[in-house]
Amino acid sequence: MSGLINKILRLAVYTLITCTGACAQSLASIESKEAAIEQAQAVSNSFLGSLKSELVKAMAEGGPKNAIDVCSRKAMPLTESSAKSASYVAGLKRTSMRVRNLSNAPDERELKVLNHFASLAASNEEMPQYYLQVEKENFHFYKPIIVDAPCLSCHGTKASLAPDVLAELAKRYPEDQALGYSLGDFRGLLHVTLRRGN
């Protein structure tokens, strides 16, 4: 009997040790600034790439009105799944000074960075590829999002939008502020938060 208890105890201790290892792994962190930039770039590119290909596919299949549906259903889940793609990713968010979906509205920290990029854009200065903040617990990586030609069918001027797209947007997003953009405009940021180790 005591042999069995011993076995159970040993198993429990073993499980505890493996779990501690696994738990530490599930909260993996990044140490150097260079590694943070590299990982954040990879997460950003993969997220923005998947979103763009979903969008292009939906537009080719059923035009921009159909793609609005895909965009509103897929943008959030894609953001969540990309955020979980690596254990050191503590957050992933698209934000803008003029949002379509209010749940993408910037917090105070993001607003400051948005203002910084917007002022660079306003003075026609070259947009940096990214901006990195190093804090005690986290790295905050921000990638500027620029308006490209395919974006204009849903973020262009009211006059340039197809009437069915305009109507659908008004129906789904009565407080939409994300219209009126032109090619090359600064649209917003992708904010990636990475856990920082010491």
Residues 175-191 as b/e (b if ≥16 CB within 10 A, e otherwise) read ebebbebeeebbbbbbb
Q: Which one of residues 88, 100, 138, 142 is an interface residue with ligand HEC (CB under 6 A)?
A: 100
The bridge status of strand 131-134 relative to strand 89-95 is unpaired
**67 binds ligand HEC, rule: CB under 6 A:** yes
Select from 8-16, 37-45, 95-103, 130-138 the region that touches ligand HEC (CB under 6 A).
Answer: 95-103
Distance, in Å, from the CA atom of 83 to the CA atom of 93, rounded to the nearest integer, reads 9
Identity of the residue, 118 or 147, whose beta carbon is nearer to ligand HEC in the bound complex: 147
From 38-46, 114-122, 133-141, 152-160, give the range in contact with ligand HEC by CB under 6 A: 152-160
Per-residue contact string for residues 176-195; x = within reach of ligand HEC by CB under 6 A: --x--------xx-------
Q: Which residues contact 87 (CB under 8 A, 6 or more apart)?
A: 25, 26, 27, 28
Residue written as token pair 């105070």: 108
The answer to the question of residue 127 lying near ligand HEC (CB under 6 A) is: no
Question: Does residue number 96 form part of the binding site for ligand HEC (CB under 6 A)?
Answer: yes
Closest CB 174 distance from ligand HEC, rounded Å: 13
Phi, psi of 136 (to 5 degrees): -55, -50
